[in-house]
Amino acid sequence: MYKIAPSILSANFAKLGEEVTNVIASGADIIHFDVMDNHYVPNLTIGPLVCSAIRPVTQAEIDVHLMVKPVDRIIPDFAKAGANIISFHPEASEHIDRTLSLIKENGCKAGLVFNPGTPLSYLDHVMDKIDLILIMSVNPGFGGQKFIPDALNKLRTARQKINESGRDIMLEIDGGVNTGNIAEIAAAGCDTFVAGSAVYGAGKNTDPHRYDSIIAALRAELAKVSK
Ligand code: DX5
Ligand code: ZN
């Protein structure tokens, strides 16, 4: 029931197709796709063209994490590019309910993303439209940052809200996840784990890049958690 979602932000961009197929062949479940615009966050990454380029190389779900402002204009482009899940930061949208509807009208699952300083109260009136809650355990913009422990409290609260809603909503964590903390993150109620530098960093000295041992190590930690 736990899903591992490597962030391709830390992959070798010169070999992106291979990096996607190798990480899935190594046991990962979902491809996490970080979109940054040098406006909402101080970094610039990849867009719908790259999403459509990797779409044919994998059957895995592509989980598009939009760190862009404005949000709405780019949503249909990502849906056409083959995204399965699209999530956005509430501060980046003028009309959260409308943006969630737009994602769903375009045939994708919809998610809201919470920065370390963003309250979960943004969920209050839109739970019925949400398929994914993404809790940031770093400030968005860069891979390789340190996990902020308060994210564990937020996960517990979000899990409670999901249980109360009775809906099937994914609860995802993003930032600083590794073998040393994934078990406590799962124990706090998380079911989907983004890991960028921990996964792609671990395979970078193998040729071809393989990620079996790091993904097995993450799963071994998850196996210790009793639910
Ligand atoms: C940060 C991104 C993350 C990042 C995670 O803004 O949203 O997905 O790539 O990288 P690590 O796992 O290295 O913290
Ligand atoms: Zn992300």
What pLDDT, in 10s, does the model give residues 173-224? 999 999 999 999 999 999 999 999 999 999 888 888 889 999 999 999 999 9
pLDDT at 126: 98
Beta-carbon neighbour count of residue 23 at 10 Å?
Answer: 29
Q: Report pLDDT for 204.
A: 84
| Segment among 80-84, 132-136, 206-210 with least mean pLDDT | 206-210
> Would you state the pLDDT for residue 2?
98
- Could you give the percent of the chain with pLDDT greater than 70? 100
More confident residue, 7 or 207: 7
CA of 202 to the centre of ligand 1 (A): 15
49 SS3 class: helix
Which whole number is the average pLDDT over 156-170?
A: 98
How many whole angstroms separate alpha carbon 82 and alpha carbon 108?
A: 9
The reported pTM is 0.98
Residue 124 within a domain = yes
- Which atom of ligand 1 is closest in space to residue 201's alpha carbon? 13
Catalytic residues: 34, 174
Instruction: Give residue 14's pLDDT.
Output: 96
pLDDT at position 159, please?
98
Does residue 100 form part of some domain? yes
* Ligand found nearest the CA of 182: 1
Is residue 227 situated within a structural domain? no
State how many domains the chain has.
1
141 CB within 6 A, ligand 1 = yes
Is the CB of 145 inside a 6 Å radius of any atom of ligand 1? yes
Residue 83 — very low, low, confident or very high, per pLDDT cuts 50/70/90?
Answer: very high
* Candidate of 19, 38, 138 to mutate for ligand 1, largest count of ligand atoms within 8 Å of Cβ: 138
Split at pLDDT 50, 70, 90, the class of 226 is confident
> Closest ligand to 63 CA?
2
Average of per-residue pLDDT across 64-80: 98
Buried b / exposed e along 45-75 (16+ C-beta atoms within 10 A): bbbbebbeebbeebebbbbbbbbbeebeebb
Question: Which residue from 33, 85, 148, 174 has its CB within 8 A of the most atoms of ligand 1, so it is best to mutate?
Answer: 174
Domain that holds residue 117: 3-222
Q: How far apart are CA 64 and CA 219, in angstroms?
A: 23
Task: Say which ligand is closest to the CA of 143.
Answer: 1
* Distance in angstroms (rounded) separating the CA atoms of residues 221 and 33: 24
Q: What is the pLDDT of residues 34-63, one digit of tens each?
A: 999 999 999 999 999 999 999 999 999 999
pLDDT for res 9: 98
Supply the mean pLDDT for the chain. Answer: 97
65 lines ligand 1 (CB under 6 A): yes
The pair of structure tokens assigned to 111 is 């998610």
In a domain? residue 7? yes
Q: Give the other-Cβ count within 10 Å of 163's Cβ.
A: 11
In a domain, 211, yes or no: yes
Cα dist. 91→6, 25, 36, 199 in Å? Answer: 25, 36, 15, 29
Q: Is residue 89 domain-resident?
A: yes
Kindly state if the Cβ of 23 falls inside 6 Å of ligand 1: no
In a domain, 209, yes or no: yes
Distance 97 CA to ligand 2 centre (A): 21
CATH code, domain carrying 168: 3.20.20.70
Q: Is the pLDDT of residue 227 over 70?
A: no
Query: For residue 78, is pLDDT > 80?
Result: yes
Sheet holding 109-114, edge to edge: 3-6, 192-195, 170-174, 132-136, 109-114, 85-88, 61-67, 30-36
- For ligand 2, the distance from its centroid to the CA atom of residue 174, given in whole angstroms, is 6
User: Does 47 map to a domain?
Assistant: yes
**Position in ligand 1 atom list of the atom nearest CA 136:** 7
